[in-house]
Amino acid sequence: MAELVRVAALTNYFETMAGLGCDPRPLLKEQGLSADLLVNPEQLISARAAIRLLERSAAETGCITLGLRMAEGRALANLGATSLLIAHQPTLRHAITALREFRARINSTLIFNVEEIGDDAILREDFVLRRPEPSRQSSDLTLGVLMRLCSEVLGSDWSPRTVCFSHEAPPPAELPIFTRIFRCPVQFDSELNGIVLHRADLDRPNLRADDQLARHARQLLDKAMSPVERTATQDVDQLIRLLMPAGRASIQNCAASMGVTVRTLQRMLDGEGTSFSALLNGARMQLATQYLANPRMRITDVAEMLGYGSIGAFSRWHSQAFGASPRNRRS
């Protein structure tokens, strides 16, 4: 599947760079982009180029919160044609479902999961790339946009329980922007990127929901951009990430979850030009890169999160995949 994102994902990029006193044109050129290309928010561009652009821009400006600065000026309308449908859903749960339905038209590399644990719910975001990329700025930007979506549905006075970031804490001078955007305690060096809220918030009525407007938005979307049918590759990739920490990311378990036989699932993946082992390996490479960047996660913890029963097995796989042991790669 092509790794694409709408140009709207870079909304506020030029304004943010101008505020930091940096000319973005050379950085755009590095990634094969141009200011003219970014005029139309519905234009699709390489997601990898967009992710790299934000990382390079943060490094060039020395602004570790560049992604959040972009998010601070965002509105739900920046999600494009789907924003009307999302804004008028009856609950946050329905809004997230609508967002996931049209995800491939917004950013094909971004997946959202809702995990319900006791009285808590976690709105989790992950980037799924064929090759791992550092994506701190894009992750921060996405969490900021997700926070805006939640506030749109639950009201401006709502706040989450906490927000988790897999990266380390920024310098103290940069912390105020986290408070302004998220209005709650934040946790750094976490094992995930996500918003933790009360489970009951998922089903709190959206007082501004309008069923008639939602139906109208659905009709417009069905005519203009019908939701992309989910592929077996997308379904299996998401199942792998959900089952991996429990050591259950096998083709047998994925097939059972999808209600098909292993042989049928193999044929489906073959038809899409991939295989279960390739998807499993790709997910592990992406998550290993993310987890090892977190200095508070022990290598033992990383091995367990990736479904390995021993550090030895994890280290052998890591050395083969990256050409270095996890300890050497982290140092």
pLDDT tens across 142-177, in order? 999 999 999 999 998 999 999 999 999 999 999 999
Strand, coil or helix: 124 = strand
- pLDDT above 70: percentage of residues in the chain: 95
Residue 1 pLDDT > 60: no
- Between CA 255 and CA 218 the distance in angstroms is 31
The predicted structure's pLDDT at residue 277: 94
pLDDT, average across residues 282-288: 89
Please give the pLDDT value at position 227. 46
- Domains contained in the chain, CATH given: 64-220 (no CATH), 232-330 (1.10.10.60)
Instruction: Return the axis-axis angle of helices 232-243 and 251-258, rounded to nearest 10°.
Output: 120
E strand or H helix at 122: strand 120-127
For 252, other C-beta atoms within 10 Å of its C-beta total 12
Question: Which residue in 205, 119, 113, 116 sits closest to 158, CA to CA?
Answer: 205
Other beta carbons within 10 angstroms of residue 2's beta carbon come to 9
Distance between CA atoms of 182 and 143, rounded to whole angstroms? 9
Overall average pLDDT of the 196-214 stretch: 91
Average pLDDT, the chain: 88
Average pLDDT over residues 286-295: 84
The sign of the torsion formed by the CA atoms of 88, 90, 91, 94 equals: negative
Q: Is the pTM of this model over 0.85?
A: no
**Percent of the chain, pLDDT > 90?**
53
Under 8 Å CB-to-CB from 183, ≥6 apart: which residues? 159
Residue 296 CB burial class (10 angstroms; 0-12, 13-18, ≥19): exposed
Amino acid at 261: T
What pLDDT, in 10s, does the model give residues 21-64? 999 999 999 999 888 888 888 788 888 999 999 999 999 999 99
List, for residues 91-148, the tens digit of each pLDDT value.
999 999 888 887 766 777 888 889 999 999 999 988 877 777 889 999 999 999 999 9
CA distances 146 to 8, 130, 202, Å, are 15, 24, 14
What are residue 254's DSSP bridge partners? none
User: 239 pLDDT band (50/70/90 cuts)?
Assistant: confident
What pLDDT does 224 receive?
59
Task: Convert 169-199 to b/e letters by CB count within 10 Å (16 or more is b).
Answer: ebeeeeeebbeebbebebeeebbbbbbbbee
Higher pLDDT, 191 or 137: 137
Higher pLDDT, 256 or 283: 283
Determine whether 256 is exposed, middle or buried from the number of CB atoms within 10 Å of its CB (0-12, 13-18, 19+): middle
